[in-house]
Structure 1
């Protein structure tokens, strides 16, 4: 029941500004630790080995911390920690903010979507802004909600913390750049491995709460994505809402000619489509909550 209570707490409170303006969020602390490791160990001729040892040490520390928290009497602290590490409410608020901004002006929408995507936004048109927000919603639903739930359900708080430190490391150093291609290699590979099942589970859940499109289309297009995992929730969202996602986009001023996912779907996207995505996020969360409750009930009855 700990997971159920944590999911409800996250959905109710999200990330209250009054709290995190006074204290450092755990994700910020993780980021600072990873940044220190990057500055300290990303040097010399053996960067790949250094990166491997770094992610192993970070995961070991996260697992030990998880065990320590779980060993404390009572479960209230567990509930609070899990709720902090979930991102359902904050994800919904960020995506909804893009829909709201699109109804005000394109400039507002570009600034809003820039907070949740890594691509260039200054020349985006309105459909491009909406498409970017929807893609980010699908990917972050997997990374920030379903994957943490999955790893807590399977391995408890130690596994959840190990997943979060790995996912944070991947977002910071897991890029194929001259600086991080070797040092961040292990973090990126481990993150791919840890998201292998959750990404496909997220796709299945999106499929279940939308129009339940032909699953063969999702199975066909998801593996074509540049990421081994992000393509699954994205393809499920595209087909579930009958919209076209992905497609050409610009990174650091360089246009990348990525193909569309569900190319026959609607391409002229707007705030209504973003809000349909928000509804899908809540429906998928509700399905996850129901599954968590049934799992807790089964354990209690046994």
Structure 2
């Protein structure tokens, strides 16, 4: 039941600034490790060098998780699980965009620039709201469901392996001249680790939104440039009856991505972000209930086997 309490602690406390202003957050330490390997070994954007560097990260994270799991008591599982989940911080970042947009378009742009990598300077109100909602859906999968899934499957070793992989993908997994080959292993392994959680997230969001249907979600998820991110985004789009994804600007260049739920509402605003936040909390509650159910079933199964 460590995962249950970790999810509750994360949802209650989030990421207290007083703590992480004094010590480095584990995600920051992971980022430093990825950055050091990138600077030290990425000399010619070699796929082999990238694979070796990434393998070192994964092995190191797994061994660290294994060592921590050996400590007496379950408190370490609970604390690390809570730290590496991101429900409250995700909601806070998305809500900041909602509040910023209610204040002014410029405030909304500044807030959304904190959570997306696309150009924000020329966004209109709908662009800002759409970006925030997409980030909410995708990061609910990456920051809540996926780490919870791997924690449930393999404890701290699996959780730390997932988080270091996700961190590496966010830093070196892009197809840029520097990381086209070096970040290949991190990007592909991140796709693999998120394959099941992304689809589980889509189902959970779909259950939280009566308007969502699996068939159109499955169809439109394939329109997304990512093999996984399209699932939670499509579920959110159909659940709220809005259009997500679509054209956006990166580095001054407009990219013509297809819309997800193209027939949905496109004139979005702060109220639509608020609706997405409600979906995040309902979905979180459903995920917590699922964790409890799995725990109870596990206990029943163990009891039955012990009787034999």
What TM-score range do you get, normalising by the shorter chain?
over 0.9
What residue number does 1:12 align with?
12
- The 1-side partners of 2:29 and 2:16 are apart by 17
What residue number does 2:268 align with?
269
What residue number does 2:93 align with?
94
Secondary structure of 1:250's aligned partner: strand
Contact 1:174 1:188 in 2 (8 A): yes
What residue number does 1:153 align with?
152
- The 2-side partners of 1:260 and 1:219 are apart by 14
Provide the TM-score with structure 1 as the length reference: 0.98
What residue number does 2:161 align with?
162
Secondary structure of 2:189's aligned partner: helix
- The 1-side partners of 2:30 and 2:67 are apart by 17
What residue number does 2:41 align with?
41
Q: 1:35 offset after TM fit, Å?
A: 0.2
Q: 1:212 offset after TM fit, Å?
A: 4.1
Unmatched tracts of structure 2, length 5 or more: 303-308
Secondary structure of 2:222's aligned partner: helix
1:213-252 alignment runs, 5 A limit = 213-252=212-251
Contact 2:245 2:258 in 1 (8 A): yes
Q: 1:55 offset after TM fit, Å?
A: 1.1
What residue number does 1:118 align with?
117
Q: 1:274 offset after TM fit, Å?
A: 0.1
Contact 1:211 1:241 in 2 (8 A): no
Q: 1:213 offset after TM fit, Å?
A: 2.6
- The 2-side partners of 1:219 and 1:162 are apart by 28
RMSD: 0.9
- The 1-side partners of 2:273 and 2:213 are apart by 22
- The 2-side partners of 1:284 and 1:213 are apart by 13
CA displacement 1:55-92 (0-9 Å, x = unmatched): 11111111111111111000111100000000000000
Runs of 4+ in 1 over 4 A off after TM superposition: none
What residue number does 2:2 align with?
2
- The 2-side partners of 1:87 and 1:287 are apart by 16
What residue number does 2:27 align with?
27
* More displaced 10-residue stretch of structure 1: 289-298 or 186-195: 289-298
- The 2-side partners of 1:2 and 1:246 are apart by 36
- The 2-side partners of 1:281 and 1:296 are apart by 22
Is the aligned partner of 1:210 residue 2:205? no
Contact 2:211 2:241 in 1 (8 A): no
Q: 1:124 offset after TM fit, Å?
A: 0.4
- The 1-side partners of 2:77 and 2:219 are apart by 40
What residue number does 1:76 align with?
75
Provide the TM-score with structure 2 as the length reference: 0.96
Is the aligned partner of 1:60 residue 2:59? yes
Is the aligned partner of 1:128 residue 2:127? yes
Secondary structure of 1:224's aligned partner: coil
Q: 1:294 offset after TM fit, Å?
A: 1.3
- The 1-side partners of 2:191 and 2:165 are apart by 10
